[in-house]
Amino acid sequence: MGFAAAELDRIRPLWDRMLAHPFLAETRDGRIADATFANWMRQDYLFVEAAIPFVAALLAKAPRACWEPLVQVLQALMKELGLFEERAGAAGVRLAGARPGLVNHAYVQFLLATAQRASFEEGWAVLWAAEKAYFDSWRVVAAGLAADSRWRPFVDNWAGEAFAQYVGFLEDQLDRLAAAAGPDQRRRMAEAIETTARYELAFWEMAYGGAGWPGLPEWRDGEVTTAEGAA
């Protein structure tokens, strides 16, 4: 068994809890409240925006052989922003000016700090875990979503064949990196994967429960303003 498969086995209870999240089941069954789905859209748009500098920072550390695939990831992420903008427009959801919820904020800082300060291997492990989490999560939605659902393009983006192949590529590379790594490095990679999985579960929880900050529930994910803007 490769490193990635063994790690998924190790964190299976956490992964299963993520896949059993009501956000996914309700989206699949067409029961998700519009405001809840809009909350996820606003938060994930911010996340994808932040994933671009994360991948760019990873690229700066990557061996030459990984440059081309990472450039393709960057292009795919730019395209994904367009998908969010198009769907938000169709659903009347305003993306501009949204404020990241605490979990989103922390997750993005974790991504950037990992790419900046940890090893390339750990950064790659995080990228794989985040993409695999979305592939598996949207497969849950794909298993029952109505063909004419307006959320279908998200399923097509993350649960389709092209994304499956991309996640498979990340996984093969991860296995290679882990096989060449020493035990300390492998342990740090495993920890990075588990932390990513925890954030992924927490992200659904935030999308479902509201993106307010502790102690400030009424602010939710209201728009960022300056003192001048508020005057």
Which residues contact ligand MP5 (rule: CB under 6 A)?
A: 44, 47-48, 51, 77, 80, 130-131, 133-134, 200, 203
Task: Dump the DSSP string for 25-59.
Answer: HHHHTT---HHHHHHHHHHHHHHHHHHHHHHHHHH
Kindly state the smallest distance separating residue 100's Cβ from ligand MP5, in Å. Answer: 11
Q: Which is nearer to ligand MP5, 47 or 186 (CB)?
A: 47
What's the CA gap between 27 and 41, in Å, rounded?
13
The residue of the chain with the least Cβ separation from ligand MP5 equals: 134
Smaller CB separation from ligand MP5, 186 or 189: 189
Cα–Cα dist 154/133, whole Å? 14
Least distance from ligand MP5 to the Cβ atom of residue 178, Å: 21
- Quick one: DSSP state of residue 62? S
C-alpha to C-alpha distance for 151 and 145, rounded to whole angstroms: 8
Token pair for residue 38? 């809009």
- 93 versus 130: smaller Cβ distance to ligand MP5: 130
Distance CA 209, CA 218 (A): 13
CA 35, 48, 9: angle at the middle one, nearest 5? Answer: 95
Residue with tokens 């030459």: 64
Least separation in angstroms between CB 226 and ligand MP5: 28
Least spacing, CB of residue 128 vs ligand MP5, in Å: 11
Nearer to ligand MP5, 48 or 142 (CB): 48
Contact at 8 Å (CB) between 185 and 3? no
Closest to ligand MP5 by CB, 77 or 112: 77
Pick the closer one to ligand MP5 by CB: 3 or 84.
84
CA 188 to chain centre: 20
Shortest distance (Å) from residue 148 CB to ligand MP5: 23
Least distance (Å) from ligand MP5 to the CB of residue 230? 30
